[in-house]
Every structure is written in structure tokens, then in C-alpha cells.
Amino acid sequence: MALRTLESLGDLSGKRVIVRCDLNMPLQGGEITDDGRARASLPTLQALLEQNAKVIVISHLGRPKGEPNPEFSLAPAAERLAQLLDKDVKLAVDTVGESARSLVSELADGEVVVLENLRFNSGETSKDEAEREAFAQELAQLGDAYVSDGFGVVHRKQASVYELAKLLPSAAGLLVANEVEKLGRVVNDPEQPFTVVLGGSKVSDKLGVIQNLLPRVDRLVIGGGMLFTFLAAQGHAIGTSLLEADQLETVKGYLAEAAERGVELLLPTDINVAEKFAADAAHEIVPADAIESSSFGAEGIGLDIGPESEKAYAEAIRDSKTVFWNGPMGVFEFPEFASGTSAVAQALTAVDGLSVVGGGDSAAAIRTLGFADDEFGHVSTGGGASLELIEGKRLPGLEVLGW
């Protein structure tokens, strides 16, 4: 079965189309600090508006625990959408209540309304299927068709993602279709050489990715906090750096399998070691196999890869035709420990082929470090969803759309 796309819904002129977006954007003092997800939703919304559909946008924001909480209101998101679409966007003060029903009934062709945070209703994320179905039924009464365009939630069995798609004629939006196509190419049809770059804090978060991709990749590049478990598995002392002791045997298995398969597994040769975990901590570069030789001894903590490793990683990435990257190389939020992540991002922009940034912290990192999304082949809008798709898992929010 193929993923159902917008064309499958036919002429939507005058139809009420519920669009599940992912407007879960970071806020600071009520202001959006990264509007990447709102921008990513624009192609689908504009395509529907060009058809003169009546567009009803639904989304979540944060974790308000099933009840209204002004701190998690979608008001800033609705305001940003209005700016980006250059048109009036109304906001209902509830999800399926009087305000939502009233504003939807007043919608004219080519107009947009945003319903308040879906997670203000406990039915959205309930583990009770009947409760989710009841909430989905109420949402379905507001629309004639459903478009799934929140890739960041398609790995969740939630009312607005799964049950609602069963109740109305449904299809994937342009964002979701593009995510499936690009990530599908990484897993099923990567042009060689194929390099996977993994970072972030924990090996345990990446087990499925490593297991699924080791038989397919030419190179596996390791950075971030998870690298120290790899170094420890090789018998090196790592000071107070992050360690998942319960993953040491698993990592030893990966090292052996990579060698057996002829996969080039790149680990750093030098580390930026700090006195403590702090933005202003004293730090120095030491060999990766001699972390405790720094001035800080056994108390030193590795917070980034070193310059020698940056060059090696960048060269490996630029020499690739397909690159999938998920997870920063160091604590990029601290400027002194952002260099490794920046070097990897810079190299990805120079790939002569498909470069994919796998959402989550990686997408946040590239924007924090001043890179634009269009400098990369694809920037995923879903960290967890992109990882699960790369792991080869079936995602409920895609299966319900025929995938």
C-alpha cells in the first residue's frame, strides 16, 4: 500500500479540512524562539487555501496533562501562522467546545481557524482507546476531511493522529509525504558511500538505529555523550564523562559487528575536556584515549569532540553521497563546546548528494548555530518519529494513511 496523499481527497473547495500540524515550538516568555515547525507546515496549508478549503488547524504544545493551562496556549502559534500566511487566523479558546464549533461554522472558503491545544483534552493522549475514540469523534464532527501533516507525532497512537484519520477521508500532507520520501531513501535506497552520524547523550536512544543501519552503511560516525560509552568499551578511562555502563556489552558487540562487516566506525581521536559541566568551565584538548591526562585528572568531563576529530568527521561526511545525522557532537548550547556540532553541520551543507538532519536536537542545533534549513537536503521535523522510521518500525500515524 502507498501513502495516501492530498490528491486522493479530490476537490476540497468549500470543504472543512482538519489539518493536524505540529506547532509544538519552543517558547520563552510567551515568544516563539524557533518557528521552524510553523514554516514547515506552510506548503500544505497554502495548497489547501489555494483550493478554497476551509482550514481547521489542530496541534499540541508541550505537556499540559489533559487540562487547560494558559502556559501552553496555541495563541503564539496562531499569531505566527497569521504572519507567515499573511492572513487573519482566528483561535478557538477550546478544542471541541462552543468556541471551536462556533468559529468553524463561521469559516468562509479560504479562511483558517486554529483550535486550542489538543492536549487540553485528556482524550488526546489517553491510553484508553475508547476515550481517544470519543475525542476523535468530537473532532471529526468539525470537518469533512482530514490531513495529517504533523510528522513529529506520527509514531504516536493519539486521537488526532490515529483515530481521527479513520473517521474522515484522510491523507498525508506535503510535509509528511516529503518526510516519508526522504527518510525512506535513507533506509531503502541510499546512494553510496552512505554515512550515518550519531550523537546525543545516550547510546540507548540509538540502539534501534544502529541495529537497522549497520548492515547498510559504509561509515558510522560517533559523537556526543554516547561516544564515551564506546571509548569505555574499548577499555579507555573517561573521567566523569557520561557513561551507560549497562550498554558496554552491547557497544562491544557493535564494534565487533562493524569490523566484521567492513563498516568504518569513526570515534574521536581527541576530546575537549572540561573541569566541570558549565558554559564557563576551564577546558583543554586531550587525546581520546587519555582523557584523564588533562589538568583535571579523573574529575575531567568530556563535553565535545576535538579539532582533529572535527576534521576527520567533516572529511568523511563530505566524501559521502548519503548522510543521515541525528544528535549533536557536544554540548552545543555552551558556545565553547559547540565547535564539533558546527563542524559536522558545515560538512553536511557540502555533501554532493542527500544530507538529512534527523530532527530533534540536531535541528535545534543547526538553527542555534546560524545555519538555514535550506542549506541541507532535508531537515526532519520529528526527532522521535524520524528515528523510529529509520529503525524500520511501523508508525501508527502512517499506517492509518495506507503506508
Residues recognised as catalytic: 37, 202, 360, 384
Euclidean distance between CA atoms 101 and 393, whole angstroms: 37
Whether 115 has a binding-site annotation, put simply, is no
Identify the three-state secondary structure at position 323.
Answer: strand
Whether 123 has a binding-site annotation, put simply, is no
Whether 34 has a binding-site annotation, put simply, is no
Whether 61 has a binding-site annotation, put simply, is yes
Whether 188 has a binding-site annotation, put simply, is no
Whether 98 has a binding-site annotation, put simply, is no
Whether 179 has a binding-site annotation, put simply, is no
Whether 35 has a binding-site annotation, put simply, is no
Whether 184 has a binding-site annotation, put simply, is no
Greatest extent of the chain over all pairs of C-alpha atoms, in Å = 70
For 61-75, give one letter per residue: b (16+ CB within 10 A) or e. Answer: beebeeeeeeebbbe
Rg (CA), the chain: 23
Whether 60 has a binding-site annotation, put simply, is yes
Q: What is the DSSP string of 207-230?
A: HHHHHHHTTT-SEEEE-STTHHHH
Contacts by 128-136, CB closer than 8 A, 24 or more apart: 129/163, 132/157, 132/158, 132/159, 132/162, 132/163, 133/159, 133/163, 135/96, 135/159, 135/163, 136/160, 136/163, 136/164, 136/166, 136/167
Whether 333 has a binding-site annotation, put simply, is yes
Bind-site residues for substrate: 22-24, 37, 60-63, 119, 156
Bind-site residues for ATP: 206, 302, 333, 359-362
Bind-site residues: 22-24, 37, 60-63, 119, 156, 206, 302, 333, 359-362
Bind-site residues for (2R)-3-phosphoglycerate: 37, 119, 156
